[in-house]
Structure 1
Amino acid sequence: MVRRAELTPKLVFEIDPPKTGERWVADTKIKGFGLRLWSTASGGQKAFAIRAAKRNGKMIRKTYDPNIAWRRRLGFSYADREDKFGLGEYLEDARDWAKDEIDRIKGKLTGTEQAWIEHRAVGELVKSLPLGRAGDSLLRGLKLNNASQKYLDRLDKLFASKISKALEETPLAKLKPGQVARALARADLSAGNVRTLRSFVSQILERGASFHGPLGRFHDEFASSFSTEWDRVRKVRYPALNKLSDKRYRQIFDILESETEYRQQALAIRIYFEFRAPLTRILRAEWNQIYGPHWYPYAPDEKEFWFECRENIENDAKRILDQIRQLGAPEFDGNRFWFPDQLP
C-alpha cells in the first residue's frame, strides 16, 4: 500500500506500522524517498528508504542507517538537544542521503560531489588572488558584517600605505611568511598599528584557507617568523632575557614548575614563555578559549586581534596546561579560568 505525504518528524514518529505486510509512505519533497513500515512479531518497524530505477530500468532499494548521522547523534549525547521524535529526528539527514544515493543510481554527480568540485574551483581562484585584491575583498566583507567605519578606514589606510606594491601583487599561494613578517616588523608604525595590520593579513590568509586548505599553513610559520623578526628589529621589553642561555632558561623553568607556595603565579609566568600573548591575557585565559590544538586569547568580537594571536598548544605548552588543570582541580574544579582567584 502506497501513501503520499510530505514527511515531517512528527508524522514519522506517530505513524504506526501495519499489523500485517508492508506499507510505503512516499515523501512528496524528494521523488523516490520515503518511509518504509512493516510488521514484525514484536510489533513492527519503520525506516527511511529509497526506491529508484537505474538507467537500464533496474529497480534499486536502499535503507537509511541513522548511525551515519554522527553529528546529530553527538548532539543528543553531549548537547541539550531533545530527542522528541525518534527516527523522525533524522529526517533531514535522511533526505540529504537520499538525494545523493538517487543521483548515484541515476549516474549523476551527487550534490556533495558537485559542491566539492565548485569548492575546488573557487580554491584555485583564491590561491591565485593577489594579496591586494584579497585585502579589498575582506574589507568589503567586514563592511557587510557591520564593522565600524573607523576600523575599516584604519585598516584601509594601513594596508594601502605599508604593504609594498610587490606584496600587493603577489598571489596568496606564493606569499612567503618570512617576507611578510619582515615587511610588517620593519614598518614605520607603532606597535599597536603593526599588530592591527598583522591581524588583518592573517585574516586574509585564514579566509583563503577555507577555500584552499594549504593556505592554512601560512599562519603558524608567519607567527613564528614575525616573533623572531620583531625581537630582531624592535626594542623588547626585557632585553636581558635575550642574553640568557638555554641552560639557564631551563633552570628557571624547572624552578617555576616546582613552586608550591605560589603555584598559580609561577605557572602563569612559566606558560607566558610558551605563548606570544601578553601576560594580562594569560591571567584572564579561559578553558573555553581552547579549540583543538589552539588557544584564542581574544574574544571573537575583538575583531582587530582575533586572527592575530591563535596560539599553538603543543609540547611544553600542552604539558604545562595539563599541569595547571590537574593542580587546580581539587580547589577550583569547574572554574572557567586557568588561574581563578575565587571558587566557581
Structure 2
Amino acid sequence: MVERRSLTPEFINELVSPKTGERWVADTKIRGFGIRLWSSKRGDGAAFGVRTSNLEGKAIRKTFDPFGRNSHRWRWYINFSDGNIDFSNGIPMGFFLDDARSWARKVIGQAKGRIPTDDEQVQINVEDQKNREQFSRQLQGITLERAADIILFYGPHRGWSDTYTYQMKKLFHSNVPERLKRKLIKKITRNDIENVLSSEMVRPSNARALRSLLHQIFERVSILRGPEILDGMPGYAPNLYKRKLSKET
C-alpha cells in the first residue's frame, strides 16, 4: 500500500501500523523518500527509508538509522534539552524527520550519480569528523546503564520488535553487575566486559547476544575508544544481535 503526502512530524507521530503487511507513505518533498510501517508476528514497527533506483536502473532500498552518524537529534535525547518533546513514552518518530530527509538527499544523490565537488567532500568530511568526536565525548561521560537505555530506546526505530527489545533489556539488567552498570563508559576496560561474558551465570547463547549489545554501545564511542574494546574476543561477530535469544533469557 503506497500513499503520497508531504510528511510532517505531527502526521508521522499519528501514524499506525497496518493490521497486516506493510504500509509505505511517500514524501512528496523528496522523491524516493518515505516512511515504512509494518506488522508481523514479531511486532509492529516503523522506519524512514529510501526507495529509488541508480543510473543502471537497479533498485536501491535503504533504511535510516536514527542513532547513526547521519542523525544529530540524539543529542537532545541524551541531555533531555528539548522541553517541547515528551519522552515519557519513548521517542516520537517525527523527532527524526529533518535528519532523515537530509540523509535521504545524500543517498538519492549518490544513487543518481551526483558526485560532490572536492570542496564539498572536504567540508562533508570535516563535519562528519566533528560530529563523531562530539558524540564520542558525550557518550563517554555517561554510565554504561545510561548508554544501554539509549540504545534500547532507539531499538524499535531501528526495526527491533517490542518483544526483542524487551528481551535485550532483560538480558542486560539480569547479567551485568550493578557496579559495572554505574561505571562511566570511558573507564570501562576489556577485562570488565570479558568478566561478564565469561561468567558461568551467563548461558553461551545469551553471552553472544549480550556481546552484540555491548558492542553496539561501544561502537557509538567510535573515535576515542571505539569497538576495539570488543575486537578479538572469542566468538565476536557484529551481527549476532540479529539472532534469536535463548528461551531462558
TM-score, normalised with respect to structure 1: 0.34
Higher relative contact order (CA 8 A, sep 6+): 2
Q: Larger helix proportion, structure 1 or 2? A: 1
Which structure: larger Rg? 1
